[in-house]
Structure 1
Amino acid sequence: MRTDPLSRLARPRRWPAVGAVLLLLAPVVLAHPGDRLAALLPALTAALAAAVALLPWPLGRVTLTAAAGAVAAASLLLDLGYPGPYRLPAFWLPFEWLALLGVLFRAVRRLPDRWAGPIGGAVALAAVALPLRFALRTPHGGAAGPVVAVLFSLLPVLGVAGAGLYLRVLDARRERAVDRARREQRLEVARGLHDFVAHEVTGIVLEAQAGQLPGQEPVETAALLRRLEEAGLRALDSMDEMVGALREEQATAGTTRRVGLADLPELVARFGTTGGPRATVDLAPEAVGLLAAEAQATAYAVVLEALTNIRRHAPQATAVTVRVAPEPDGRAVRVTVGDTGGPATRRPRLRRRPGAGGTGLAGLAARATAHGGTLTSGPLGPSGWQVSCTLPGR
């Protein structure tokens, strides 16, 4: 379906530009017949500047960069080669000057970085030099007139350029803030997927592997299926919470679930009943009250990550111990997860891979550092491995 060009100009946002162009061109017919050609030139440049200042851009294939450059070039060329009487441009001069200020504001604020300086400078030069079109052609005007005209034009140009630049900086800050919020939200989803969903899926895989062993009793099979169902439901709950967080206008801070040190016994017990090694937890009651809610969520995530790594990287581990206790000075809490893995295990290190998304031990180390704590991991004895996290109290 083809669109009539006149219908495009009739859109509501374009009516002010159309009206301004017609009003600026109409006085040409009132000029003396011998001066109409000379009058048409300043009328056209003023109408072009007004159209660029008022029209929404881009307009089809024409961008604001090209339009603003054309306005500056047309105005400067007319300043250099105007052929008519010196009084004739005086009628259109104020209208063109105001339109050039509008174009300058839009150019400084909206043009791409590579074009904002050159095009904005050209438009500013055209606005400053515009009064010279009249002042330099005034008979017996002397040098004072052009100097005063340039100074009179320069101050508003600097003010408009400064306002456009200020708003451009504000726009850039707002865009960076939006990008940062989106990145934090993506990292939040990645942490939720890694910390909760991957943990539950790993447990389901181990349960399914255990169910394939021969000699399973009906009671054991029923318990296995019940644990599989519970793990699947927990994974679905985590997915629902993450999808709900994505639908909110602002991403929530911390982990997807509000968990803490008090939830560690249930986590360790579930780890020991889903095909993993024997696991015990030693949680000092006084440690729970020392950490803020965000720090407790980080400690829980450290334990969860360590248990998940044991399942994936140390299947031959026979015992796992989780200890949470205050430091001797009572100002911090140390969380340790140790296991009796084996000499042939390959354990994850505190390395941040490009594009890792803030997950794993490297991401948890960054979270612990943000709370003023530390996270380390390394061998434990001749055949084990330990992850240790220290977090300061409130």
Structure 2
Amino acid sequence: MTGSTRDTGPDTGALRGLTGMKDDVPVRRRRRRGWCGAAAAAMLLPALLSPPGACLPAVMAALSLVVALSVWPVGRVSLARAAAGTAVLSLAADTVSFGKAGLALLWLPFEAVALLVLLERVVRHVPGSRVGLVGGLTGAAAVLLPLRFTLHAPQTGIKESVFLAALAFVPAAGATGVGLYLRSLDRRRAHAVALARREQRLEVARDLHDFVAHEVTGIVLEAQAAQLDGDGGPGEHRALLHRIEQAGLRALDSMDRTVATLREADGRTWEEPPPTRLHGLADLPELIGRFADITAAEVTLSLEDEVAGALSREAEDTAYRVVLEALTNVRRHAPRAGRVEVCAARSADGAVELSVADDAGPGASTGALPRALREQGGRPGGGTGLAGLAERVGAVGGALEAGPYAEGWRVSCRLPVAAVR
């Protein structure tokens, strides 16, 4: 094999595709930090414009500055600590008398809004073990904020304080509801991403099993046959080596397509399916021809004209993989088979029926692949091929069956009208 170079370094694009990393995350964080900084600067402005000796605006400005810094995106643990500290400081300020409110009343909406934003972020992002305590403190600070003025004002009483606290409870409850809703959306999105990652890994595993394992099985059997047939001439050995080379190239091509799929996953949303090469029933003659070249069995293909173009692309790819897996199993488990029949036809109700049958019974011809092949390091099946095929066939509305048939084994697949165009 010549003219081929392969990368050995880490494929960062493929890793980002599997982990869901996005290159624009730091950009979004810098934007949020810019907004937080601008909000903090705006909150300090009333304190700077207050007359000398007005300590209450300065205290409220400091509290609001702490709130603004608390929503800085620094992680869930830091958010919980900063929010708890801010809430305790705000509640403590409610119990201290600073004299007349004056211009501080103009500052009240800023701190109230900042506390509501902080409450929403706490409910949304703080882990479940801390969200109750930290959310309760932050919510209490937002609800009791009006008491900072009513508790120490002689003209107000308990009724006015309760009324203002009840009014403040409404936006606090709204912020809590928004946080809970966004938290549930985040949880559903994380679950959807996890399912998409799992599906992509399963798709890669299916491709590796369906194509790479098929070619590697052929290479192993060819090598075992060469060990048994020590009297073959140079021409036969060259043909054998050529078939091994071609099988290896096809296996490498399958792995290259898999790596390309992972690379192309970068930048796609998880709702988009990963691009894969789809085979079809038109590729069956070439597959059957390759199989016939390396087996002593008589291989026949019966492909009715009505089947061509009848299935969707996904269903045709599934049918191709059924034949591929069935032939791979014949190689592994039925080397004594004297005849292999592949048939694809339309049934009376319009469905497509596909079957692969062999006659590897006690009376089958041994041919060039005797029982000794299984005794020379033969590998047992992994047990995932037929199970994966059943899932794939079921996904397009079909059904897969496998079991003894006459003197051999048969794998059959039925793709109903629902899977037909």
Q: Calculate the TM-score normalised by the size of structure 1.
A: 0.81
The 1:74–1:196 alpha-carbon spacing in structure 2 relative to 1, beyond 3 Å, is same
**Structure 1 position 178, deviation (Å):** 2.9
For 1:241, what is the secondary structure of its paired residue?
helix
CA distance in 1: counterparts of 2:381 and 2:254, whole angstroms: 24
CA distance in 1: counterparts of 2:336 and 2:144, whole angstroms: 82
Q: 1:362 pairs with 373, 387, 390, which one?
A: 387
Counterpart residue number, 2:170? 155
Counterpart residue number, 2:96? 82
CA distance in 2: counterparts of 1:307 and 1:49, whole angstroms: 67
- Opposite residue 41 of structure 2, the aligned amino acid is G
For 2:337, what is the secondary structure of its paired residue?
coil
| Structure 1 position 373 matched with structure 2 position 398 | yes
CA distance in 1: counterparts of 2:304 and 2:131, whole angstroms: 62
Counterpart residue number, 1:286? 306
Higher relative contact order (CA 8 A, sep 6+): 2
| Structure 1 position 392 matched with structure 2 position 416 | yes
| Structure 1 position 260 matched with structure 2 position 260 | no
For 1:30, what is the secondary structure of its paired residue?
coil
- Asked if 2 retains the 8 angstrom alpha-carbon contact of 1:368 and 1:375, the reply is yes
- In the alignment, structure 2 segments of 5+ residues that lack a partner are 1-32, 363-370
Counterpart residue number, 1:46? 64
The 1:300–1:253 alpha-carbon spacing in structure 2 relative to 1, beyond 3 Å, is farther
The 1:256–1:140 alpha-carbon spacing in structure 2 relative to 1, beyond 3 Å, is closer
Counterpart residue number, 1:65? 80
Q: Which range is displaced more, 133-142 or 211-220?
A: 133-142
- Opposite residue 410 of structure 2, the aligned amino acid is Q
CA distance in 1: counterparts of 2:100 and 2:404, whole angstroms: 90
The 1:302–1:123 alpha-carbon spacing in structure 2 relative to 1, beyond 3 Å, is same
For 1:152, what is the secondary structure of its paired residue?
helix
Counterpart residue number, 1:299? 319
Counterpart residue number, 1:340? 359
Q: Which range is displaced more, 151-160 or 257-266?
A: 151-160
The 1:299–1:255 alpha-carbon spacing in structure 2 relative to 1, beyond 3 Å, is farther
- Asked if 2 retains the 8 angstrom alpha-carbon contact of 1:203 and 1:275, the reply is no
For 1:338, what is the secondary structure of its paired residue?
strand
- Opposite residue 144 of structure 2, the aligned amino acid is A
- Asked if 2 retains the 8 angstrom alpha-carbon contact of 1:24 and 1:46, the reply is no
- Asked if 1 retains the 8 angstrom alpha-carbon contact of 2:124 and 2:179, the reply is yes
- Opposite residue 199 of structure 2, the aligned amino acid is E
Q: Kindly provide the CA deviation profile for residues 209-262 of structure 1, in whole angstroms up to 9, marking residues without a partner as x.
A: 222221111221121122122212211221222222111144875994321112
Q: Kindly provide the CA deviation profile for residues 189-216 of structure 1, in whole angstroms up to 9, marking residues without a partner as x.
A: 1111111111011111111222222111
Identity %: 48
| Structure 1 position 30 matched with structure 2 position 47 | no
For 2:413, what is the secondary structure of its paired residue?
strand
The 1:241–1:373 alpha-carbon spacing in structure 2 relative to 1, beyond 3 Å, is same
- Opposite residue 342 of structure 2, the aligned amino acid is V
**Structure 1 position 278, deviation (Å):** 3.0
CA distance in 2: counterparts of 1:14 and 1:145, whole angstroms: 34
| Structure 1 position 324 matched with structure 2 position 341 | no
**Structure 1 position 13, deviation (Å):** 7.4
CA distance in 1: counterparts of 2:142 and 2:126, whole angstroms: 18
For 1:222, what is the secondary structure of its paired residue?
helix
- In the alignment, structure 1 segments of 5+ residues that lack a partner are 1-10, 352-358
For 2:340, what is the secondary structure of its paired residue?
strand
CA distance in 1: counterparts of 2:139 and 2:100, whole angstroms: 23
CA distance in 1: counterparts of 2:36 and 2:89, whole angstroms: 22
Q: Calculate the TM-score normalised by the size of structure 2.
A: 0.76
